[in-house]
Every structure is written in C-alpha cells, then in structure tokens.
Structure 1
Amino acid sequence: MTSATQDNQADMRRWRNRVLFSYAAFYLFVYMGRFNHWPASPVMREQLDFTHVEIGIINACLLWGFAIGDMAHGRIAEAYGYRLLLVTGTLASVALNWVTSFGSSLWAIAIPWGFNGFANATAWSPGIGMLAQWWHRSHRGRVMGFVGVAAGSSMLMMWLVTGWTIAEFGWRAAFRYPPLLMIPAAVALFFLIRDRPSDVGLDEIDQASLGDESESSPPEWAASQTGAESSDHDRSKTVRGGENLSPSEPLTPGSNDGPFTAYRILYSNWRFVATSHVKGLENVVRYGLTTWAPLYYFEEAGLSIETTALVTVALPVGYLTAPMVSGWISDVLLGGRRSPMIAASAIISAIALVGLAIVPAENIYAGAALLFVGAFAMSLSMTSTLVVDIAGPKYAATASGVLDGHGYVYAGAQAIIFALILDTAGTPWQLVFLAMAAVRILSALIAWRVKL
C-alpha cells in the first residue's frame, strides 16, 4: 500500500467520522422544535379548553406536514445538496415555532404547526442520504444505530428541557426558547460537514462490492418498464448480481434522472413498499405512546405536569438505548439481516402494551418500566436501515424520506383515530393500549409473511 493510499484512507476515516458525529450532535437539538408540543399538550388542553380531538388535530397537522416534507426533501437534497437543505429547513422550523406560540385557537396553532412539520422534516432524509455517501453498507446498521441514539437522546433532552420550561414559564415558552438551541447547531453543522467524499477531493465509496442479497431485490421487478421508463431503469442499474438499486455516483442537478425516477423505481419494489407500511404501523405505536402517555398519566393518575414528565421520560430513555444494540446485533451477529430485529421489536413491544392496559395508571413505577420496555423494543426495529440497503446510496435520501413519510401518515392518523375513541367512548385508555398492541402483532405478521 502506497503512502498516498494510506493518506487517502486516513482522510476518509477522519472525514466520515466528522460527518457522522457532527450530524448526530446536530440532531440532539432537532426535537426541541418538533415534538415540544407533546409535554405541553396537557397544559394546553387545560388552559385552552381543548378536547382530545383538538389535541389530536394539532398533532396530526405536525405529523402530516412532516410526511409531506419527508416525501419531497430527500429527492430535492439528492439533486441540490444535503447540507443546504438541512440548515435552511432547521432555521425555518425555529421561526414557525415562534409563530405557533402566539396562537390561542385550534387553527391558529394547528396551521403553523403543520408548516413546521414540513420544515423540520429537512433534518432527517437529507441527513440519511448524506451519511449513505460516506459509509459502506457493512457499517450501515451501526451508523443508523448511532443516529438512532442521537434521535432518542434528542427526545430525552426535549422532554426534560421542555418539561422544565413549561413548569416554570408556561406552555407558550416551550415553542419559543428551547427551539433557539437549533440555530447554533444548524450553523455549526453547515461548516463542519460536506455532502460526499468528492467534495473534499476523496474517492467515492464503492457500494456495489459486497454482493449481498439484502442489497438487492428480484432482478425482474423493474423489467416490465418500457420506453422512457426502461431507460430510467438502465440508468439506475437495477440490481443484478448483488448491486444496489442505484449506482454509487452522486446525483447532481445535471443528472439524466427525471424528478420522479427514484419514486418510480422505489415503488416498483414490493419489499420497499411492504417495509414502508410496516414502518407506518410502527409509528402508530411510537407516536401513539408519545402523544397519549402524558395525557394518560396527567388525567388518569392525577399527576402534576412535573411528575408526568418524570414518569413519561421513560419513553425517550428507551428510544435512545436500543438503536446501537440492534445495529450491532444486525451487522455483526446476523450478518446484515434486518428482519429478525423488526419481528423482535414488534413482539416485545406488544407484550409491554398489554401490560400498560392491565396495570393501573396510579402504579407509576410499573407504568414507567413498561413505557421503557415498549420504547426500547420499538427502537430495535431496523426498517430505516433496510430501505437504505434496498435503495443504495444514490437514492438513500429519497428512500428514507418516503419511508419516513409513510410512517408519519400513519402517525397522524392515529392521533385522530385515538382522539375520537377517547372523546366518544368515555376515555377507554385500556382499549387504546390494546389497539396499539394489536397493531404491533400485525407488523410482526407482515414482516414474517413478506420476509423483510
């Protein structure tokens, strides 16, 4: 190995670690302006006299705005740059948090909060697309696990900081002051990262060298395309013999790919579509718990807002501890297989949800333990890693965005459906938790039947 090659490898290691750690550090602050309404919702409902349905509408607007943003931002970032979209969307999210803080009626809060979901969505799929340019598939489970820890830590920080802010200054302050932390984080990120190795004079990663079946999909899945679609198929090098769905060269504004090529390729892959719906079912529970658990303990156990925050902080603690475990197990022990972790996640979380339905709300220690187990199990799932494996680095941002978009469509739907159940059936909280458990069992059945 020549000295130049050694220097190149050292530079690559330094840069890819810099990009990963910088993005993870930035993500620690993203939830300050995304999910800060969850700890605030019990106080908002009490002071503004909102019903469960109105709280659900506010939540759904955020989640559906995020879904629309996810669907679009990944593809835009692939064409025009990951870090530019990461930073501009974050700054817009801070501004929209402030606009929301002045609302006093349902739609004065829900509408800007929906736009905030769209803006804040830039923090996810462009970031995942960027990481796919720097890290090989053999490390992807651990890389995504590290990002998952950052996301869980972000939720924990938000829960604690926002909970304290609400207790001291009221719910409006939760939309004003914690989100300001996102500004220096976004500015620092812009100067610390680059979109891909070639931006700093390094060679792009050869992502097609593994020949792993899980990187591919059946060779015939796009073979029926003809004409213009067929040429798109040829350009994207639909997987044969272990190659990715897309070539590893970067997509640039001058690329021959059309604006909808990536979507057509992805939606032609039945494994990708099935994984997207499993992700949606996962989010029914992930965001169902974070939406309704604070209200459940605030209302049913009669806890103060401070104690409610302390009990339900078990959720973000569970979310942050599992991803590195699942990533290591998947990459090292399972040889890159993701489906066993998806199935384990569904079964364990279903058991925890049944426990929440049985244990009285007043038993806050058992409740906190079950919330932790449920959240830990939810974060064992590897759907986000699986779709990047399927799509390859070129379309990683689009794939991550479409997957996450599916998830947030389902998450927004649960906010409305469970709110209607709670308001029309006399707040049957046990039924809500049992419904979530049934959804997790359905996820396991789909994963087993489709063999994700």
Structure 2
Amino acid sequence: MDKKFSQCKWISLLTFALMYNLVYLGRFNVNNMLDIMSRDLDITAVREEMIAMSVFISYALGSFINGYLADRIGAKKVIIIGGVMSVFLNMAVAFQNNWAAVLMIWLANGYFQSMIWVGGIALLANWWTQGERGKGIGIANFFSGMSHATAYLIPAALMAAWPDMDWRVNFILPMLILLAFLYLFGVAAVEKPEERGLLDYEIKNHRHQAREQALLRISNRKQGPWRYFFSQKKFWWWCGIAMLSSICRYGLLNWIPLYYEEERGGQILSSTFSNLTLPIGMAFGTLIITWIAGTKLFNNKGIIVTAMAAVCGTLVVIFPMIEDTRAVLVGIFFTGFALYGINGILWLHAIDQGCRVFPGSAAGILNGFAYLGACAEGVLFPAVMGFFDDKMAVFVIMEGLCIGMVICGMVVSKKNTVVIPEVRE
C-alpha cells in the first residue's frame, strides 16, 4: 500500500485515539463531582439520579442522529463540533448554582458527546481496509477503554494536589487538556484519501462490494439508511448484543463493588477496582480481541462474541465464591477483558454493514442501543435487588445477560466457518 496512504491513516487513527482518551473527562465529570456538588447546590438524591442518567439518555438518542450526520456532512467536522461543544458545556457547569441548569447542560453535553465516537468510526472506515481493520479499531477502542481510568486519575490528581480546590475547577482545567488534543486532531487528521490526492483502498470482498454499491444508490437518492439496516434480520441481533454488553459493563462498574462493600464489609475491594483494574482489562481486551476478529485468520465475529460472553458468564458464577482480593481483581480484569472485547467487535460490524457510505449511521444505531442499555442498567439492577432484597441478585442478573449474549452470538455466527491464512488487502 502507498507509503503516504499508510502515514495518513496512522496519523488520523492516533490523533483521534489520543483525543478520545480524554473525552470521558467531559462525560464523567458530574459523576465524579456529584457528592461535592450536591452539598454545595443542595441537590437531593432523586435529582442526583436524574442528572447522572441524563447524559446517557441524550447520548443514546444523539447517537441515532449523529452517526448519519457524520456520513452526510463529514466525520471530522462532526467530531470537532462535538468535542468543542462538550468542552464549553462542561465549563458552563462550573458557573451554575441551580440543579435544573446543570441538568439541562448535561443533557446537551450527552448529545454532543455522542458525535465524537460515531464520527471517529466514520473517519476510520475511510482508511482501514478489511483484513487489517481490527488493528485500527482495536487501537481506537483501547484508548476508549483507558479513558475510564483517565477520567478517574486526572480529577483525582487535581483534588489530591489541591485539596481545597473548588469542584468547579475540575470542570475547567481537564477540559483545557481535551481542547489541546482536539486541536491536534483537527490539524493533523485527514478525513478521506482524496484530500491528499490518494486513491481509496479497493474492496476485495464481493459481498461488501455489492453492499457498498447498494448503499451508494441510497445515498445518491438522499435517503437515510435506517430502513436498509433494519431490514437485515441479523442486524437486530447485533443491536441486542450492543445493549446486553453495555448493561453488563455498567453493572460491573457500579454494582459489583457495591456488593463487596455491603456484603463483605468492603474488605476485598477498594475504589480502585472499578476505576483502574476494570478499565485496564477492558482496554487490553478490546485491543487483542478486536484485532483478532478483524483479520481474515478467523473471520467469524459471532463465534468470538459467543466465546467472550461465555467467559463472562463463567466468571460471574465464580465471583460470589471468591474471598481473596487478588483473585477477585484477576477475575474482574478478565471479565472487563472479555466484555469490552465484544464492544470492539460491534464497530467492526458497523463498518462491514455501512461500508464507506454509512459507517457512522450503523455505528450510531449500535451505539444508541448500547447507551439505552446503560440507561436500563440504572433501573434494572436496583429493581431486581429491591424485589429479592438480596445483593446476590447482581450476579443472577449478569448471568442472565451473559446467556442472552451467548444466544445472540450463536444467531449471528457464520455457519461452516473455516480458519484460513490471513491475506492483507
């Protein structure tokens, strides 16, 4: 492949990935500061829940819209709009003294945050061909996984360095870092090969060629691709995988630490469990699993989803029997590894389905279902635990979700798969 083409695709990938590593600073800011904010602004527990959930609701709905927007007006433009608006909306929170204003701003922030990832998928689709796409998406999703740790460490470091610092500063200083990396992305990233006088990569897969031509006809008629995607029966099952994996992911982040804190007196896990161990497992899982799933060595993403969901289900059964801290942390690491590996595969499938015409739209639909799952997690787990009046219900719910993912993975698996040597296109 042309050296200049390779250089552009790597620069575009790395500048986007580095910038996205900081995006969660602007998504979890309220969650990190909510206890302090609540004392300062006199926010009740119910209002806290409304504010915390608002970003997920608007993010889910925004994903359905903004994926198509990225395909129509340009992925890079959508990423920059989303990033800049999120920076200024975070800064706006710092000047609020009313919970309702914070809620409205955070709803808007979720919408603009949803532009960034789907825009990135649309941009990467222009550069990363089938056969090596898993490497590019895996690296981008690696930085997405690590962003959970970044969003914890930077505010924590600021609070540790300046214990008397007002919570409002944490809505300003980290955003200046994000703005700097957003500028770097805007200057260095290239949206399409033609902008540098390069030819597009050639699609070798005949089914993908036919699909791209069909989507081009839809695009030329100025129609949206939603009817096309939802007419594909297996696409609904992929939406189910997106939702179930997201419920599990946020359930793992939020409820298993609570189980160990309340049932075991907090002796096994510290706060670093969900803030560091799990994100690191997630990051390496999605890097390795997505990389493998995107090659032609083993081109059956459904089987990998099934296998990773089965690993999660096995670990969930074992957790309540573990007493040793190190064993729990190892289990948590590998649960995050498998879960976020499934997440990475979603974006490979989005590009396979949307090709270079509507990759953002396909990613937006899957991301929308994923964050509907994040919203459902905040209702499902408390409701079931309240009904059974037992924190052990956390593991029962997660086991059921893992079984659901296994079923979905089996449905979308290709039949009669064989392992063939990888061929780079």
Q: Shared topology, TM-score over 0.5?
A: yes
* DSSP 3-state at the match of 1:393: coil
**Matched letter for residue 75 of structure 1:** Y
Residue 17 of structure 1 and its aligned partner are, at CA, apart by 1.3
Is the CA contact 2:86–2:112 (under 8 Å) kept in the aligned structure 1? yes
The alpha-carbon distance between structure 1 residues 172 and 429, as it changes in their structure 2 partners (threshold 3 A), is: farther
Number of the residue aligned with 1:18:
11
User: Cα offset for 1:142?
Assistant: 1.5
Q: Aligned in 2, Cα 1:39/1:303: closer, same or farther, shift over 3 Å?
A: farther
Cα separation, 1, equivalents of 2:4 and 2:222:
34
Q: Does 1:449 align with 2:418?
A: no
The whole-number CA distance in structure 2 between the counterparts of 1:89 and 1:24 is 15
Which structure 2 residue ranges, 5 or more long, are not aligned?
415-425
Q: Does 1:371 align with 2:332?
A: yes
| Matches of 1:37 and 1:25, distance apart in 2 | 22
Distance 1:55 1:78 in 2: 35
1:12-49 per-position Cα deviation (integer Å, ceiling 9, x unaligned):
11111111111111111111111344444566678867
Counterparts of 1:238 and 1:299, CA distance in 2: 55
Give the Cα separation in 2 of the matches to 1:11 and 1:191: 17
Say whether the 8 Å CA contact 2:243–2:369 is kept in structure 1. yes
Taking every aligned residue pair, what percent have the same amino acid on both sides? 23
Quote the Cα distance in structure 1 between the aligned partners of 2:185 and 2:394: 40
- What CA deviation, in whole Å up to 9, does each residue of 1:98-140 have, x standing for no partner? 3334567764443322221111111101111111011111211
Gaps of at least 5 residues in structure 1 are 1-5, 216-236
Tell me the distance in 2 between the aligned counterparts of 1:330 and 1:36: 33
CA contact under 8 A between 1:244 and 1:390: conserved in structure 2?
no
TM-score of the superposed pair, with normalisation by structure 1 = 0.80
Which secondary structure does the structure 2 equivalent of 1:70 belong to? helix
CA spacing shift, 1:351–1:114, aligned 2, 3 Å = farther
1:181 match:
177
1:429 maps to: 391
Counterpart CA distance in 2 for 1:108 and 1:420 is: 29
Q: How many residues align?
A: 407
Q: Distance in 2 between matches of 1:426 and 1:60?
A: 24
**What is the TM-score when the length of structure 2 is the normalising length?**
0.85
Partner-residue secondary structure (3-state), 1:246 = helix
Q: CA RMSD in A?
A: 3.1
* Matches of 1:38 and 1:296, distance apart in 2: 20
Cα distance, 1:98–1:379 mapped onto 2, change above 3 Å = same
Aligned partner of 1:210 among 205, 210, 213: 205
CA distance in structure 2 between the partners assigned to 1:380 and 1:404 by the alignment? 15
What SS does structure 1 have at the residue aligned with 2:298? coil
The equivalent of 1:59 in structure 2 is: 52
2:131–2:295: 8 Å Cα contact kept in structure 1?
no
Q: Is the 8 Å Cα contact of residues 133 and 295 (structure 2) preserved in structure 1?
A: no
| Aligned position for 2:419 | none
Q: Give distance in 2, aligned partners of 1:104 and 1:350.
A: 44
Residue type of the alignment partner of 1:210? N
Please point out which of 191, 195, 199 is paired with 1:195. 191
Q: Per-residue displacement from partner, 1:246-282 (whole Å, max 9, x unpaired)?
A: 34x9x9xxx633242x112111111222111211111
What residue in structure 2 maps to residue 228 of structure 1?
A: none
Deviation at 1:385, TM superposition (A): 1.0
Task: Tell which deviates more after alignment, 408-417 or 283-292.
Answer: 283-292
On the 8 A contact 2:58/2:110 being kept in 1, the answer is yes
For residue 438 of structure 1, what is the amino acid of its counterpart? G
Q: Distance in 2 between matches of 1:417 and 1:138?
A: 39
User: Partner letter of residue 179 of structure 2?
Assistant: I
Q: C-alpha offsets along residues 155-196 of structure 1, whole Å, 9 cap, x if unaligned?
A: 221122233345544655443332332111111111111210
Please say if 1:148 is aligned against 2:141: yes
Q: How does 1:405-416 map to 2 (within 5 A)?
A: 405-416=368-379
